[in-house]
Copies of this chain bind each other. A is one copy, B any other.
Amino acid sequence: MNNLNGYDIEDLAVGMSAIFAKTITEADIVLFAAASGDNNAVHINEQFAKTTSFGGRIAHGFLTASVISAAVANRLPGPGAIYISQQMSFKAPVRPGDTVEATVRVKEIILARSRVVLETTCRVGDIVVIEGEALVKTTSLAKREAVVGSLAKVA
């Protein structure tokens, strides 16, 4: 682990996984509309949203997806990790009050570059609402030790 309590690349193994879950409240949707600038009626206007195929307001897809970002930042690899890329497919709507469970699972480790490929899945109950994949840079114990070693030589 690094000194922020996040995983170093050397701590990871294919198949390791972690979960972060969050209830998406009405407040979150209003806050996300403000923070993103996405005030689409299907997110903030119940009278309109009732007339759509969704039958009522739904969360922004990027709000639901942001629970993946929380799983990466808080759990696996955790603090110290830097996001490089994310692919995500939106599979089903999320409604105010739904609890989104984001699972991140180590799919591939690129040790030399301190990078990890993660499968990222968001579920509400048994329903997959987002599927995707993330590429994340982690900290590295070997690189920290190499720096300490070279500083010792200088001293």
Interface set of A (CB-CB < 8 Å, partner B): 4, 20, 22, 27-28, 31-32, 34-41, 60-63, 65-67, 69-70, 73-74, 79, 83-90
Within the assembled complex, what's the spacing in Å between the Cα atoms of A83 and B64?
13
Asked if residues B36 and A79 are in contact (CB atoms below 8 Å), the reply is no
Kindly provide the distance from the CB of A1 to the nearest chain B CB, expressed in whole angstroms. 15
Interfacial chain B residues near A74, Cβ < 8 Å: 37-40
Interfacial chain B residues near A60, Cβ < 8 Å: 66, 69
Asked if residues B88 and A86 are in contact (CB atoms below 8 Å), the reply is yes
Asked if residues B63 and A36 are in contact (CB atoms below 8 Å), the reply is yes
Interfacial chain B residues near A40, Cβ < 8 Å: 73-74, 79
